[in-house]
Amino acid sequence: MRFQNRVAIITGAASGMGLLSAQQLAEEGAKVVLTDVNLEAVAAAAKGICEAGGKAIGLQVDVRCYEQIKSCVDQAVETYGSVDILINCAGGCSSRVHKRSEPFHELPIEVVQWGMDVNFKGPILFAHAVLGQMIEQKRGVIINLGSVEGVTGTKAVDYGSSKAGMMGLTKCLATYGAEHGVRSCCVSPGPVLTRPTMAGMWTRLGRAAEPKEVTGLILYLCSDDAAFITGSNHTIDGGRSVGVR
């Protein structure tokens, strides 16, 4: 029960690694606040955690909207008394999400802006919203979900550059929060079996990661076992980023 009496906010928590992180945190004693733009899905996810014996609420939050973010943080503090962990999982490749196949320079600018706002602006806004509470508590952990494509580069320009930005954001948050007991780390996965298409992506180990392999690292970095780790990026990519193919 590493997270007994801890409160965690997880973005993009209606599915994928956001949902799995929330479920595992709850299993280890955390009170979890699940956020997602899809209200029906996030409410169902929170209900499932409660039915399994955990403590959870599900809130509709568009990470591009600071008013919704601030309301979420306020509700977390009002309901559970603190915010100890923020996991920024919300995101995605804009061309895939919007079902576009054009090269980057031919994408509608609204699609590109969606990618920048959700993948990079949202985590900055959420960090801004939780830092006051964490500084007041003199403790907190912010985990940013990057990507191996932020390390290697990719033709998905807005996605790869936003994920590279997550590493810089992590360093800045670690610098800003250190004197207040607030840590920040970035986790940059390679292909993960949250979607079937990931299975065909190349890694040196010849497979994609199981979601639990990535969330296991996330939970470790959130825990007191990682109390001396901050400002760092942690690739978990099966060797995809190591040298040339």
Q: The domain spanning residue 124 has which CATH number?
A: 3.40.50.720
3 phi and psi, to 5 degrees? Answer: -115, 25
Considering the domain boundaries, does residue 214 fall inside one?
A: yes
Considering the domain boundaries, does residue 1 fall inside one?
A: no
Statement: residue 197 has pLDDT above 90: no
Active site residue 159: yes
Considering the domain boundaries, does residue 79 fall inside one?
A: yes
Instruction: Give the domain range for residue 227.
Output: 7-236
- Find the mean pLDDT for residues 161-187: 98
How far, in Å, CA of 227 to CA of 220, rounded? 10
pTM for the model stands at 0.96
Statement: residue 245 has pLDDT above 80: no
Q: Which helix (H) or strand (E) holds 214?
A: helix 211-222
Statement: residue 31 has pLDDT above 90: yes
CB 175 within 8 A of CB 131: no
* Set 66, 80, 159, 176: catalytic member: 159
pLDDT at 198: 87
Considering the domain boundaries, does residue 2 fall inside one?
A: no
Considering the domain boundaries, does residue 164 fall inside one?
A: yes
Residue appearing with tokens 């040339």: 244
pLDDT mean across residues, the chain = 97
pLDDT at 77: 98
Distance of CA 154 to the CA centre of its chain: 20
pLDDT at 180: 98
Considering the domain boundaries, does residue 166 fall inside one?
A: yes
Q: What pLDDT band is residue 239 in, cutting at 50, 70 and 90?
A: very high
Statement: residue 152 has pLDDT above 80: yes
How far, in Å, CA of 93 to CA of 96, rounded? 5
The model's pLDDT over 51-99, given as tens digits with 9 standing for 90+, comes to 999 999 999 999 999 999 999 999 999 999 999 999 999 999 999 999 9
pLDDT at 215: 98
CB 60 within 8 A of CB 36: yes
